[in-house]
Amino acid sequence: MSGANLQVDENGRLRHFLTVEGLHRGLLVEIMDTAESFLGVVEQSVKKVPLLRGKTIVNLFFEASTRTRTTFELAAKRLSADVLNINVDASATVKGETLLDTLRNLEAMHCDMFVVRHADSGTAHFFARHAAPHVSVINAGDGRHAHPTQALLDMLTIRRHKGGFDRLRVVIVGDILHSRVARSQIRALNLLGAGEVRVVAPHTLLPVRAETLGVRVFHDLEAGIRDADVIIMLRLQHERMRGALLPSEHEYFRLFGLTAERLTLAAPEAIVMHPGPINRGVEIDSQVADGAHSVILEQVHYGIAVRMAVMSLAMHRRIPAPEAREAGAEREIG
Ligand code: NCD
């Protein structure tokens, strides 16, 4: 399920954003650079640019979400698009409508972009395969498979703090097995040339042959975080676990929880990240989550700019230079 050909048009420009897999490094850098230029917009008193004025974006969420859905919504609004939020509870799929019928109906309403989250891997690809030529699909998380905008906002956070990737030791700790975030992060880090990517997890929360993903595997947190520059903590994703994979949350925290004491093993300037939602006292101690090394809330802030970048690039629009912005003009790429 690489999705590479689906994702870019014949000129190599972004059309759908479904997975990091199969994309070129240059495209990831372009998304981050575009997001940087949007950071200025979100800090203005009038937080809007007219790039997607007249476009209709549908947030189609078949799975619960707060952060991701609201940041996609804000991103679309800051690009001046009209936004429709459709949540599964209120949707027709519970009445038996197929995904394809849902898509056709929304297309008949002249929607231009679908942001899709679903518990099944491959749903965003399905939408992209069947979408009308003018429609773009953005994956907001599909099963355990991919969460590419989360990975890109994480990469932007790392780049802004560390300047680059090549000498970095990045460690991802926790429930790797069920994490679409970890899969997308690992691909992005390898594509961007991170010095070393490590994962730390109990055997039961790692995919088989995890090394083949391009990571060094550790089962001991203290060994895994030694000298790390970036520590990414993950939540235990109970909703995707079948059966008991852990003795207890208390035991998990004892072995794999990030405490202030353990953090001293990492590099002195290490940053601590988490895609959220965080579970205090399970994977991370409050002292660390709220401490000086934590950049967790910055990730949320950068998430809006990254989603604005992905949406505008997929619609072939880019932020105008400040003078053009003042004149209310917009410029298309290429
Ligand atoms: C992640 C997700 O939904 O995959 N959260 C998010 O998008 N902010 C991670 C998680 O749910 O643990």
The answer to whether the Cα torsion of 152, 158, 160, 166 is positive or negative is negative
Confidence at 228, pLDDT banded by 50, 70, 90: very high
What would the mean pLDDT of 249-257 be, rounded to a whole number?
Answer: 93
Ligand 1 atom closest to 237 (CA):
12
Asked whether this chain's domains 4-145+302-332 and 148-298 adopt the same fold, the reply is yes
Tens digits of residue pLDDT in 29-85: 999 999 999 998 877 888 899 999 999 999 999 998 889 999 999 999 999 999 999
pTM value? Answer: 0.92
Look up the CATH number of domain 4-145+302-332: 3.40.50.1370
Q: Which is the CATH superfamily of the domain at 148-298?
A: Aspartate/ornithine carbamoyltransferase (3.40.50.1370)
Domain ranges of the chain: 4-145+302-332, 148-298
Q: Is the pLDDT of residue 330 over 50?
A: no
Q: Kindly compute the dihedral angle of the four CA atoms of residues 300, 305, 311, 315, in this order, to the nearest 10 degrees.
A: 180
Taking 80 as the threshold, does the pLDDT of residue 324 lie above it? no
pLDDT digits (tens, 9 = 90+) for 82-93: 999 998 765 666
- d(CA 170, CA 272) in angstroms, rounded, equals 10
144 touches ligand 1 (CB under 6 Å): no
Ligand 1 neighbourhood includes 274 CB (under 6 angstroms): no
Query: Looking at the predicted structure, is the pLDDT value of residue 118 above 60?
Result: yes
- Report pLDDT for 47: 85
Q: Tell me how crowded residue 307 is: count the other CB atoms within 10 A of its CB.
A: 29
In angstroms, the CA 272 to CA 274 distance is 7
Lowest mean pLDDT among 1-5, 54-58, 68-72, 251-255: 1-5
**Average pLDDT of the residues of the chain:** 91
Ligand 1 centroid to 79 CA: how many Å? Answer: 24
